[in-house]
Structure 1
Amino acid sequence: MAQQYPALTDRHRRFIDQQQLYFVATAAREGRVNVSPKGLDSLRVLSDTQVVWLNGTGSGNETAAHLLDSPRMTVMFCSFVREPLILRLYGDARAIHADDPEWDELITLFPPMLGARNIFVLDIDLMQTSCGYGVPTMDFTGQREMMHTWAAKKGDEGLAAYHHDKNRASIDGFPTGLPDPLS
């Protein structure tokens, strides 16, 4: 059965640390809802009510665009191993970009990521667990190297051009707040 918590417990932190995959959901007041799967070593728990996650270059930048309109974010973890559990973190979030003052401190929390584009800070106001009985069990065999390989092949200039062309507006045409790397 679902249980709600005002803050992360030690059990929640251990559960988060064990997950290889999580999902991020955001929505602007108008337009499409976005749900993105996230992997790699890209999320850190900063406190009982705050997490940060590093976002690499992708085909869009929906999360950043949505947060400029409405700061709501949900992060969901679900266990694919023996013990079924789903953990959702609800709250308000904001995007940090490379030219923001917090970037230099926060980026050190993560291993180097070619094409790192945003860091998102989620201030959690509610945690909820649920059973996860309907989630299948699966074996983790490893993280994909394709994003790193793709970013390395693009190089700094290619990534800047990609951000300029593909990551400065959402699929609904909303600005993402990503600074123009070609200006």
Structure 2
Amino acid sequence: MAKQFPELDDGQRKLIEEQHMFFVGTAAPDGRVNISPKGMDSLRILGPNRIAWMNLTGSGNETAGHLLEANRMTLMWCSFTTRPMILRTYGTARTLHVGDEGWDELAGLFPDHRSARQIYDLDIDVVQTSCGYAVPFMEYQSERDTMQKWVDGKSDEQIQSYWVEKNHQTIDGKPTRTRP
């Protein structure tokens, strides 16, 4: 049975820190709902009601576009190891781009990554846990090196050109405000 909490507690924080991936859900008032898996060293818990995560270059940029219209965001973690648990944080988020006020402070919390597009700053209003009894056991092997190899093979200008080509609009044709 699902349980709701007003903020993250120490046990929930530990569960988040143990996971190697999380999922991000956003939706504009109309159009498609987006759910994206995220990994790498890209998430920081900043307090019981605040999480920041750095968004790296990807094939789409739905989250940025959705947040321009509706700042709702859900983050979800599934425990794939011994403890069956699903944890969700619901709240509102703001998008920060390079040069925005607050970018330098938050970016300093993460490893430097040349393909960082945005940082999302989530203000949590509800935390929910559920059983996760049907989530399979899965074993973590390692991080993929695919993103780093892609970045290493590109100049900064090529990464920014990719953003212009692939990341300036959502799948529904809405702007994302991604800067080249």
TMscore range, shorter length: over 0.9
Residue 114 of structure 1: CA displacement?
A: 2.6
| Structure 1 residue identity aligned to 2:73 | M
**TM-score using structure 2 length:** 0.98
Q: Is the 8 A contact 1:114 1:148 kept in 2?
A: no
Q: Counterpart of 2:157?
A: 157
1:49 corresponds to 2:22? no
Determine helix, strand or coil for the equivalent of 1:63: helix
Determine helix, strand or coil for the equivalent of 1:17: helix
Q: Counterpart of 1:168?
A: 168
1:24 corresponds to 2:24? yes
- In structure 1, how many angstroms separate the alpha carbons of the residues matched to 2:12 and 2:174? 34
Residues 83-102 of structure 1: pairs in structure 2 closer than 5 A: 83-102=83-102
Q: Can you list the C-alpha shifts for 1:55-113, whole angstroms capped at 9, x where unaligned?
A: 10011110000000001110000100011000000001111000202111111111122
Q: Unaligned 5+ residue runs, structure 1? A: none
Q: Is the 8 A contact 1:97 1:178 kept in 2?
A: yes
Q: Counterpart of 1:61?
A: 61
Q: Counterpart of 2:33?
A: 33
Q: Unaligned 5+ residue runs, structure 2? A: none
Q: Can you list the C-alpha shifts for 1:112-138, whole angstroms capped at 9, x where unaligned?
A: 223011100110000000000000001
Identity %: 53
**TM-score using structure 1 length:** 0.97
| Structure 1 residue identity aligned to 2:121 | V
RMSD between aligned alpha carbons?
Answer: 0.7
Q: Is the 8 A contact 1:88 1:127 kept in 2?
A: yes
- In structure 1, how many angstroms separate the alpha carbons of the residues matched to 2:101 and 2:34? 27
- In structure 1, how many angstroms separate the alpha carbons of the residues matched to 2:151 and 2:102? 24
